Amino acid sequence: MASRNQNRPPRSPSAKKDGIDQVPFDKRRKIGLGRTVGPASTGRMRQPFAVVNSRQDGMGNSDMGSAEGSECGTVEFTREEVEALLNVKFKGKQFDFKGKLEQMTEHIKRLKLCIKWFQQTEENHVLEKEKLQSVMESVEKKCMDTEVEMKSKVEELNLIISDLKKTVSSLEERVAKEESDKLDAIECHRKEKEARVDGEKLQALLSSDLEKTRQEKSAAERKAASFEDMYKRAQEYNVSLQQYNSKLQKDNETHSESLKRVEMEKLTIVENLSNLRCHNKALQDQLTSFKASQDEFIKQKESLSNELRCLRGELQQVRHDRDHQVTKVQALTAEVVKYEEFTGKSCVELDNLTIKSNALEETCSSQREQIRILQQQLAAANEKLKMVDLSASETRAEFEEQKRIVQELHDRLADTELQLSEGEKLRKKLHNTILELKGNIRVFCRVRPLLPDDGVATETAVIAYPTSTEALGRGIDLMQSGQKHPFTFDKVFTHEASQQDVFVEISQLVQSALDGYKVCIFAYGQTGSGKTYTMMGRPETSEQKGLIPRSLEQIFQASQSLQVQGWKYKMQASMLEIYNETIRDLLSTNRSNGLDVSRTENGVQGKQYTIKHDANGNTHVSDLTVVDVCSIKEISSLLQQAAKSRSVGKTQMNEQSSRSHFVFTLRISGVNESTEQQVQGVLNLIDLAGSERLSKSGSTGDRLKETQAINKSLSCLADVIFALAKREDHVPFRNSKLTYLLQPCLGGDSKTLMFVNVSPDPSSIGESLCSLRFAARVNACEIGIPRRQTTTVRPSDSRLSYG
Ligand SMILES: Nc1ncnc2c1ncn2[C@@H]1O[C@H](COP(=O)(O)OP(=O)(O)OP(=O)(O)O)[C@@H](O)[C@H]1O
């Protein structure tokens, strides 16, 4: 025991003053729940062992002796030396305790040196890492800046390029459009010209036709005039012929009268015929001549009539011709008018087209000018683009260079990270070794938020969290009457920490229950500090579920995913509470008035449960209901049943949930049929009753009895912790049901974690200080070495059973 005490770190005077067994920061920082299983880890601290050095002469007087003399920090260890140091075996005769003690002292000194060296190396590593990270960050920042700048430049350029491309394409489109317009206009112009020429030709033709027609018209008019003259003359001639005819008829009448007279005369003459025969003959001759002249006149008349008829026909023809010519003239006149109109229209159209053509020519020339300007602009833009390309390629080259540097730094960082991870592995191994040598219990502190019932403004906060690097996330300062009480734990959760945040920190611990470790998590703190909230929470809401439901969910999920590796798990759950130093089975189906009952020959009586620990450190409570569970659903219903059992007890006996200690136990047995491995883990999740000062509680009667029972069991817990901390020969585990139940967790080979729950309410500062002091003591307490329960089974023996 004396030699173990030499290994312990010196206590700070302030810690002593506070009555706290404080462990220095650096040492505690490495404290964790390692799970190294090997020849070294399976050995217990209390077992005798021999020292064997890596570069040794068999008695440990090796090169490491050089390290031994210089504690100032110039000593260095190689990996082999460290491993040799971790795997030392002490030599000597069986009962040469003195020799062995010396060897152990030597070995412990070397271990200290090694730990010191490692701490320095680790600090150096951390410093180097930080340096590298800062360099890396600055370079990455620079690089990112450059990248961002580049990106923005490239984007800008891309924008300019796209703008220019758009402009060019739009201009090209416009040019093409203008060209096509121009071509259309030219085509139109050409067509118009052709139409104009055709029109002109047509006009000329029409003009000549018109001229011809005019000539024809004038000829026709002349002809018509001549025909009219002729008609007039023919009419006149007709009139004269009619006059002549009437004259001839008159003459004929006169001649007839003359003939009559002649005949009369003939008669006279006949009378005077003879006389006148001659005369008659002459007269007859005269008559014949007259007849001949009459025939001739008749003939002449007939020929004149024929001529008149002809002339009339001719006149008719001329009239007809004239009418025809007049209609023709009229048609020609209309045609002339039409042509004149058409020619006028064509002229207007031609003028319009000429104007349009002129306008188009003007547009063409202006567009030609515009195209020229745009081409100039394009050339300038191309020039600019070239420049920009040049600068972009320069920037790209710079970027590539930066990228290369970043890559180099990445590589260096990866190397360093590799080194660090190697170091981390070594650190973990050393840490586990330290933990195993020290057998510490981990302590997490959780501060609940201020509740409306606290009735205190946040300004009067009495809890602060130090922000120094060494205490960040691990320190908590309690202010009481202007005095600061600093505490450091493995982890401190502020009032802002969620249930998930808390669970993340313990999930590894829960996982190790599946790996065959005994795991115990319990919550300690004054009434109303948040123990039940932390352990159970509100299982019905996913965000406020506590550690118990979350742990069980994880256990079932992990056990299922391990099935692919050949693992088969069997789980058994039990739940009990310790109320007034009495164990109560919360899953018992025979409950009466909140008490478990059993029927005996003498009638019904309360069950007496006894706690037993076997050689493997497994705890058994006689007659306790143990239920096989296969799913989280089953466990949830059991938890509900337990909650009901507790609440029944509460109602009947006017107790509060905090008036009893709640213990949930899950036994996990795993068999791997392929590797023939067997593990047995236990997960104990405990919600302790709330500590309360009698003076403050003002309890009386049953309530006073409960408070006294709680305080007694908690003070028994404190006694056990203090005895363990002082490494006393006798640890009073049996003084209370709670401590006896927790014996394997506190003094055995469990991985144990204590939550100390603290209320931020200033009126609770006294209790908070007590809780924190107690927790600090627990933190400094050395318990057994976590040991994994694993065996290799014969395939036929793979069925598990509990005693
Ligand atoms: N972290 C937290 N966030 C929000 N509310 C909390 C938190 N911790 C505790 N509370 C609330 O504080 C109140 C007291 O918490 P809880 O019942 O868990 O305390 P307790 O320590 O178990 O008390 P007791 O010892 O009397 O059982 C409850 O209303 C709970 O919801």
Which ipTM did the prediction report? 0.98
Task: Tokens for 387, please give them.
Answer: 């420049």
Q: In this structure, what are the phi and psi dihedrals at residue 355, rounded to the nearest 5 degrees?
A: -60, -45
344 is an annotated ligand-binding site residue = no
pLDDT at 672: 87
Locate tokens 């004396």: which residue? 2
Report whether pLDDT(277) > 90: no
Q: Does residue 709 contact residue 699 with C-beta atoms inside 8 Å? A: no
Output b/e per residue, 579-607; b: 16+ Cβ within 10 A.
bbebbbbbbbeebeebbbeeeeeeeeeeb
Q: How far is the CA of 32 from the centre of ligand 1 (A)?
A: 27
Query: Higher model confidence: residue 85 or residue 305?
Result: 85
Average pLDDT score over residue span 783-799: 51
Work out the average pLDDT over 252-272: 73
532 is in an annotated binding site: yes
In this model, does residue 38 exceed pLDDT 50?
A: no
494 is in an annotated binding site: no
For ligand 1, whether the C-beta of 533 sits within 6 Å is: yes
Determine which of 49-63, 340-354, 743-757 has the lowest per-residue pLDDT on average: 49-63
Q: What is the pLDDT of residue 784?
A: 59
Check pocket membership of 531 for ligand 1, CB cut-off 6 A: yes
What is the structure's pLDDT at 425? 58
- Residue 531 CA to ligand 1 centre (angstroms): 6
Looking at per-residue pLDDT, the higher value among 703 and 621 belongs to 621
Q: How far is 433 from 7, CA to CA, in rounded Å?
A: 13
Ligand 1 lined by 532 (C-beta under 6 Å): yes
Q: Is the pLDDT of residue 29 over 50?
A: no
pTM: 0.49
CB 475 near ligand 1, within 6 Å:
no
CATH of domain 439-797: 3.40.850.10
760 lines ligand 1 (CB under 6 A): no
660 CB under 6 A from ligand 1? no
Q: Is the pLDDT of residue 93 over 80?
A: no
CB of 537 closer than 6 A to ligand 1?
no
- Quote the mean pLDDT of the chain: 76
| Residue 527 is labelled as binding a ligand | yes
User: From the CA of 659, how far away is ligand 1's center (Å)?
Assistant: 14
pLDDT of res. 443: 92
Q: Is 531 annotated as a binding residue?
A: yes
Q: How many helices (H) and strands (E) does the chain have?
A: 16, 18
pLDDT band at 802 (very low <50, low <70, confident <90, very high): very low
Task: Report pLDDT for 391.
Answer: 82
CA 403 – CA 87 distance, rounded (Å): 46
Rounded distance from Cα 715 to ligand 1 centre (Å): 22
Q: Whose CA is nearest to atom 2 of ligand 1?
A: 448
Q: How confident is the model at residue 433 (pLDDT cuts 50, 70, 90)?
A: low
Q: Is the pLDDT of residue 531 over 70?
A: yes
- Quick: pLDDT tens for 451-509: 887 765 554 678 999 988 878 889 999 998 889 999 999 899 999 999 999 999 898 88
Q: Give the model's pLDDT for residue 523.
A: 94
- Ligand 1 centroid vs 537 CA: distance in angstroms? 8
The pLDDT value recorded for residue 595 is 54
Mean of pLDDT values over 661-666: 92
- Which residue has a Cα nearest atom 9 of ligand 1? 530
- In this structure, of 448-457, 559-568, 595-604, 660-669, the range with the lowest mean pLDDT score is 595-604
Given pLDDT bands bounded at 50, 70 and 90, which one contains residue 700? low
* Residue owning the nearest CA to atom 15 of ligand 1: 530
750 lines ligand 1 (CB under 6 A): no
Q: Is 451 in the pocket of ligand 1 (CB under 6 A)?
A: yes
Candidate from 127-131, 332-336, 549-553 with smallest mean pLDDT:
332-336
Cβ contact 771:525 at 8 Å: yes
pLDDT of residue 439: 53
**CA 449 / ligand 1 centre spacing (Å):** 9
Mutate to test the pocket of ligand 1, among 444, 447, 448, 496 (most ligand atoms within 8 A of CB): 448
What pLDDT shows up at residue 251? 75
Cα 533 to ligand 1 centre (Å): 5
Span from the CA of 757 to the centroid of ligand 1 (angstroms): 9
Residue keyed to tokens 């299922």: 560
Q: In this model, does residue 371 exceed pLDDT 90?
A: no
Query: Residue 441 pLDDT > 60, yes or no?
Result: yes
Name the band, by pLDDT with cuts 50, 70 and 90, for residue 46: very low
Tokens of 78: 């190689």
Ligand 1 contact, 524 CB (< 6 A) = no
Ligand 1 touching residue 713 (CB < 6 A): no
Per-position DSSP letters for 636-675, written without gaps between them: HHHHHHHHHHHHHHHHHHT--GGGSEEEEEEEEEEEETTT
- Reported in sequence order, the residue ranges of 526-676 that DSSP labels E, i.e. its strands, are 567-579, 582-585, 591-592, 595-600, 603-606, 611-613, 619-621, 627-629, 661-672
pLDDT > 90 fraction of the chain, expressed in percent and rounded = 14
Is it the case that residue 646 has pLDDT exceeding 60?
yes
pLDDT at 786 over 70: no
Ligand 1 mean position to 661 CA, how many Å? 15
Token pair, residue 73, equals 């920090």
